[in-house]
Structure 1
Amino acid sequence: MTQNILVAYGTTNGSTRRIAETVAGVLRERGMAARALPAAEVTSLERYDAVVVGGGLYGGRWHRDCRAFVRRHARALAAMPVWFFSSGPLDATASRREIPPVRGVRRAMERLGVTEHVTFGGCLEEGATGFIARRIVSSGKGGDFRDFARIEAWAAGIGTALETGRRAG
């Protein structure tokens, strides 16, 4: 039986969307029905067997759409396999070492029994919206720090966990 996986994301400038689409693509390559959708657009988790939630980090907090998604769907999320990811460091630190989840994400993980969290580097480039984002880019501190090989490997690990967690029947 094909597993239906949701990859819900919150993003302001699109960087996290590309990570979510990459995760969903890897899961589809493994034969799963995976969809990447904006967290704000998801109204029900009824059709999904597992969920990955990913949000950009802004000022030490997860994207507001992810926070709202987790609150809105807490009961359903607590009853299924869930993975979290964050994106945001505008340097290579996320590729060199594990970065723990920010406090709000850690608390949500504990409440829901989330399987795993990972932080990926972020991306902030010319054309970014928001005063602070534009200032970061204009100061020369922007750039693309997403490590797609690492993202794909993490997604493959989710696929393996879901495949081995299947029950015969």
Structure 2
Amino acid sequence: MTAVLVVFAGKNGGTREIAEVIATELRAQELRVDVRDAADVAGVEEYAAVVLGSALYYSRWRPEAVRLLERHVDDLRERPVWLFHSGPCGPGAALVQVSLPAKVAFLAAQIDAERTATFGGRLDPARARGLIARFMASGRRAGDFRDWDLIRAWARDVGRRVRTRVLL
């Protein structure tokens, strides 16, 4: 059975929940999957494929996700890697495609990562920290804008591609 590492980076649990749903879909395709916080990943050598996701904050990836890409660029180059980010909130969030931040785009190109998926995010007024976050959470952007059907479909596609690109 092929091992896939699903990694997440976020502050409030929304990206972790997406990673767990992705892992569930991959396991349904008989893939062995580990889910880890990006800050806790020491290496990727034992995995045949990697899925890495970060929450977007002010159009930036979480630093721990960027560090993981930087530290493991050589090992990531040797296996298929899928990237996703979550963050757009408000009406129509599921339709928004956000470009990778420049540094992440450079690293993604170095490892030949697959095209990045953008998923809507979750903005919970009770968890909003800081003036800007509280302001954003007080209006139409507050709520859960993750499209679980879209996330599951993307994960199933990743699973099919892992199975065809990596010898089982």
| TM-score (norm: length of structure 1) | 0.91
Partner in structure 2 of residue 89 of structure 1: 88
Partner in structure 1 of residue 135 of structure 2: 135
Q: C-alpha distance in 1, partners of 2:15/2:167? A: 32
SS at the partner of 2:117? strand
5+ long unaligned stretches in structure 1: none
Number of equivalences: 167
Amino acid at match of 1:148: W
Deviations 1:9-42 (A, max 9, x none): 1001111000111111100111011122100001
Contact 2:91 2:140 in 1 (8 A): no
- Of the structure 1 ranges 127-136 and 104-113, higher mean CA displacement relative to structure 2 is found in 127-136
Contact 2:90 2:140 in 1 (8 A): no
Amino acid at match of 2:76: L
Shift of 1:92: 4.3
Partner in structure 1 of residue 146 of structure 2: 146
Q: C-alpha distance in 2, partners of 1:158/1:21? A: 14
Shift of 1:63: 1.1
Q: C-alpha distance in 2, partners of 1:49/1:154? A: 18
Contact 2:96 2:118 in 1 (8 A): no
Shift of 1:129: 4.3
Amino acid at match of 2:156: A
Q: C-alpha distance in 2, partners of 1:92/1:79? A: 39
5+ long unaligned stretches in structure 2: none
| TM-score (norm: length of structure 2) | 0.91
SS at the partner of 2:107? helix
